[in-house]
Structure 1
Amino acid sequence: RIVKQLEAMKKNWTVRLEKLLADAKKDDLLSWEQLGIDTLFVDEAHLFKNLYRFTKMTRVAGLPLANSERAFDLFLKTRYTMRLHGGAQRGVVFATATPVANTMAEVHTMMRYLQPRRLEALGLQQFDAWAATFGESVTALEIAPDGSGYRMNTRFARFINVPELMAVFGEVADIRTAEMLKLPVPALRGGKPRIVACPASTALKAYVRTLVERAEAIRMGRVKPQDDNMLAVTTDGRKAALDFRLVAPSARFDA
């Protein structure tokens, strides 16, 4: 199975690179190299988190395999910029308040951008090697995406060897916490967040049953992906949980 996945990745990347090369030939402008840029300052760097990665952990939650051309474009530019500085990890500055927005794997992504030579020296440039050193998968009971009940799910969700990870990442990361910044923010009543549980209405419970039916139809292949898919099901579920009127505009306020 792994061999087939690798062959599929190779084919996808071949097609993608051919498309990028074909698009590049259409541009009759200055190339990036001709612009003379030798330093990059990237604000909101978390917007470039969807950088491609090759991994055998394809069936583990918490490891999105999505990749964007925007992230790949920046990745190439960071490599070129560092090469201008003799291959040193210089000339690239990232700024973000959320270096880890959705998954632990984004730490490795930031390190790939900013510490390529350090990762190579440690033998951790490949994600699977990094994941085996600084993270572990956890199997736990989770709510099913369609809200029908619970299921056991394995998720890449726990850091290990944190002091060693922070020692390496700290070579390029200047981390500032809210306590260190002391920004003027309003105080929380009671001093901490409170969870207020709201009972589900009859209408919401009935709607959740329709989500379960839609999810079952998707799993059984009775519906085309362009007509319905699990992303649409989970999105509708989140909308309904937030305010039922987002999926049923004519519903009463307390529905």
Structure 2
Amino acid sequence: MRQVILDTETTGLEWQKGNRVVEIGCVEMLERRPTGRTFHRYLKPDREFEPGAQEVTGLTLEFLADKPRFAEVAGEFLDFIDGAELVIHNAAFDLGFLNAELARLDGLGRIQDRCTVEDTLLMARQRYPGQRNSLDALCKRLGVDNSQRQLHGALLDAQILMDVYLALTSGQGEIGFDSEAAPQAAAEVAFVVELGEAAPRPRVHVSAEEAEAHAARLAGLAKKAGRCVWLELEAEAEAGAA
């Protein structure tokens, strides 16, 4: 699956009041792994910042004066996200602004016409009801490093959101249970036992490097989730054998 983690910065909180997008940041993932491809543009808004918005982003009209307008990068931006699943924190906010920008141009439609959308804010509210689920709060809860986030920046926030999303969704998807290839892979390693006959069980040989990587992954899951059932079962087995 191709996913694009997306974030925007704007001149204010409401696109209905004519506020504009001043920064777009996107990070691409393929099968839950970053590809190294990003899309990042600062944009000239042709309007003033609302009070407080400039302090949040650290951007100024002077800095943005020589940057392209949204219309100049729209085609490149849409090509980057086209057909992907977008992962956005508080998707209604970003989609509202981006669709408003697209509406100023002819024939480009809406973001939702090109992409599916996963909202990490809704995911977090379902997993942690009644708790603070801002990006910073999730970083603290899930052990994601956000120490570089002194100001809101679209590309940095998209990179941080990628780590938050992977932590929120760590589990079955990471070991291939949600992959279309999983049933076929299972069929390839299955062995048939004829009625009345016994067949030897397949043996899997694990290298020291693989065992070390496996242990590190389990430790990471335990740190993020607060527990790891596999590690608990291993501890019980070792205690029983002692």
> TM-score by structure 1 length?
0.22
> TM-score by structure 2 length?
0.23
Which has more strand, going by share of residues?
2
The higher-RCO structure (CA 8 Å, 6+ apart) is 2
